[in-house]
Structure formats: structure tokens, C-alpha cells
């Protein structure tokens, strides 16, 4: 069961993720990963075990940063430089 259960969970994940078409599948998978990472950062913060031991609030900071990255991925990870160039009229 130690090996079978994780393999079954992985296969269920693959089956469910396969329902999403590309490139949405990649956006959701990467974004969801960052949200799960946020949950892990919150656990670290609440337990008082910061990710960087010398920085007491490092886990809290990561828990704030990670959802920002997740939202960007859910939006399709657009280049911020491409948008800035379009706004200034520079098409290079």
C-alpha cells in the first residue's frame, strides 16, 4: 500500500488533469502548484519554523508572494515586457 496508494493518486490526478485542454492544463497545473506551496508556507509560519531560519517572517513573506505568481500563471503567464512595449508603441 505504501507504493500503490501514491501511484493511484497520481493516476487519478493525471485522469482529471487530462480533461483540461492545452494550454489551460499547464496554466492550471503550475498555478495550482503555487497555491499548494502557499499552504505549505502558511503551515511553516504557524508552526514557527520559517523557511529561512535567520528570517523569522520568511514563510509569511512566501505565503504572500506565491499567490501573486499563481495568478500570473492562471492568466497565461504573459510577459510584462511585451505589454510595456505595446503601451509605449515600441513593437520590437
Written as one string, the DSSP assignment of 21-87 is PTTHHHHHHHHHHHHHHHHHHHHHHHHT--SSTTSTTHHHHHHHHHHHHHHHHHTT---HHHHHHHH
Q: Per-residue pLDDT for 21 more than 60?
A: yes
Q: 33 vs 27, which has greater pLDDT? A: 33
Model confidence, pTM: 0.67
Percent of the chain with pLDDT over 90: 28
pLDDT of 61 reads 92
> Of the candidates 45, 67, 69, which has an alpha carbon nearest to the alpha carbon of residue 58?
45
For 39-64, write each residue's pLDDT tens digit: 999 999 999 998 888 989 989 998 99
What confidence tier does 89 reach under pLDDT thresholds 50, 70, 90? low
Amino acid at each position: 500500500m505504501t507504493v500503490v496508494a501514491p501511484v493511484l493518486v497520481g493516476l487519478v490526478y493525471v485522469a482529471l488533469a487530462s480533461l483540461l485542454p492545452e494550454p489551460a492544463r499547464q496554466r492550471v497545473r503550475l498555478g495550482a502548484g503555487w497555491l499548494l506551496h502557499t499552504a505549505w508556507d502558511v503551515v511553516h509560519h504557524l508552526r514557527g519554523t520559517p523557511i529561512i531560519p535567520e528570517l523569522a517572517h520568511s514563510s509569511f513573506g512566501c505565503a504572500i508572494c506565491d499567490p501573486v505568481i499563481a495568478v500570473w500563471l492562471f492568466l497565461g503567464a504573459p510577459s510584462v515586457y511585451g505589454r510595456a512595449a505595446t503601451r509605449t508603441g515600441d513593437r520590437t
